Amino acid sequence: MKTPTRVLIVDDDAMHIELLTQYLAGQVDEVRGLTDSREVETVFREYQPDLVLLDLHMPDPDGLEVLRRLRGARLSLGFLPVIMLTADAGHVARNSALILGADDFLTKPFDREEVILRVRNLLHTRQLYVDAKEGRTER
């Protein structure tokens, strides 16, 4: 049985959350937006998303710091993909994010098609992981 898919979007710009929510409508079961990055740990624990879209440039803590903070929780949840949102094409920031465990990137301004495809792919991988894990427990 397929569990409902939940996506958490963290971006200090509410308009960007709004836009992404519109894009993902019909693609995922639930979307939750968060503009204050300081609350991300609490929300993450309580909401238990299957995928996180995380803006890189935010007032403290910024995207990289959030990645750092979520690291422990993500490891305990098994495979939990994070897509970074950035207008920054600089590879330094990209690599820093990858080192900290980011799985993919979406570049601002967004391409609707790309957003949907990347989110779908990663959610699919996530689903496979969860299924495999449950299959083992059933046996």
Shortest distance in whole angstroms from residue 47 CB to other proteins: 20
Number of residues that bind other proteins (CB under 8 A): 27
Establish if 126 lies at the interface with other proteins (CB under 8 A).
no
**CA–CA separation, 7 and 118 (whole Å):** 13
SS3 for 30?
strand
Distance from C-alpha of 33 to C-alpha of 22, rounded to nearest angstrom: 12
**Binding status of residue 99 toward other proteins by CB under 8 A:** no
Among 73, 90, 95, 128, binds other proteins (CB under 8 A): 90
Residues 38-77 that bind other proteins (CB under 8 A): 57-60, 62, 64-65
d(CA 9, CA 24): 11
C-alpha angle 15-7-78 in degrees, rounded to nearest 5: 145
Q: Which residues bind other proteins (CB under 8 A)?
A: 12-13, 15-16, 18-19, 22-23, 36, 57-60, 62, 64-65, 87-90, 92-93, 107-110, 112
